[in-house]
Structure 1
Amino acid sequence: MNVQIRTVHFDADSKLLEHVNAKIEKLRTFHDKIISAEVYLKLDNFSQQVRDKVAEIKVYVPKHSYFVKHQSKTFEQSFDLAFDSLVNQVKRQKEKHLVH
């Protein structure tokens, strides 16, 4: 699986990157045919004083792709919420596929 992590308007520290990589690797337990994953970590509302942390995850599998986006006050929390939503999407899609 090819994993790309991109940061927008900031430089991520190694702890955050390790957290993201560890979680993304866990996706293999939910879907065994993942081609690639892209993670975008962004600072939102950049022109204002309040900066929300946004995490977007795109995952590509044969004939399908998944996308989730969450924002909160920390990158870890945003990424974890997005990851949980992604896992739910993957599980739902896999169950639909097994039923048919």
Structure 2
Amino acid sequence: MNVKMHSIKFDADSKLLDVVQKKMNKLDRFFDRIVDGEVFMRLNNEGIKNKTVDIKLNIPGDQLFATASAASFEAASDEAAQALTKQLKRFKEKAMSH
């Protein structure tokens, strides 16, 4: 899957980008027709959960979006990927029933 990654208000290191890319690649297991995706990682100034990850997936005929905040980008990307997994499963079931 082609994934564009954007880090806002910080420079992401290659280790973080690799971790996020692996999580995105796992989404292909649930729906094999994902066109592409975009990941936005940004630092917030308030609270313990100051790292936010937004993931946008383009699939044929629709667009899925999930956002999560956590103490680390790895945890936030994991939460967002889990939310997208649920959305992909629902979308696939809905598409199969028609």
CA distance in 1, matches of 2:33, 2:47: 42
CA distance in 1, matches of 2:64, 2:44: 22
Return structure 1 stretches of 4+ with deviation > 2 angstroms: 48-51
How far residue 56 of structure 1 moved from its aligned partner, in angstroms, is 0.3
Percent identical across equivalent pairs?
Answer: 40
**Is this contact kept in 2: 1:43–1:51, CA < 8 A?**
no
Where structure 1 has 5 or more consecutive residues not aligned to the other structure, the ranges are none
How has the CA–CA distance of structure 1 residues 72 and 51 changed in structure 2, closer, same or farther, with 3 Å as cutoff? Answer: closer
> For the pair shown, which has the larger CA radius of gyration, 1 or 2?
1
Report the TM-score when normalising by structure 2: 0.92
Report the TM-score when normalising by structure 1: 0.90
CA distance in 2, matches of 1:79, 1:96: 25
Where structure 2 has 5 or more consecutive residues not aligned to the other structure, the ranges are none
Write the letter of the residue equivalent to 1:20. Answer: V
> CA-atom RMSD, angstroms?
1.5
Aligned residues: 98
Q: Are 2:17 and 1:31 aligned? A: no
CA distance in 1, matches of 2:37, 2:20: 11
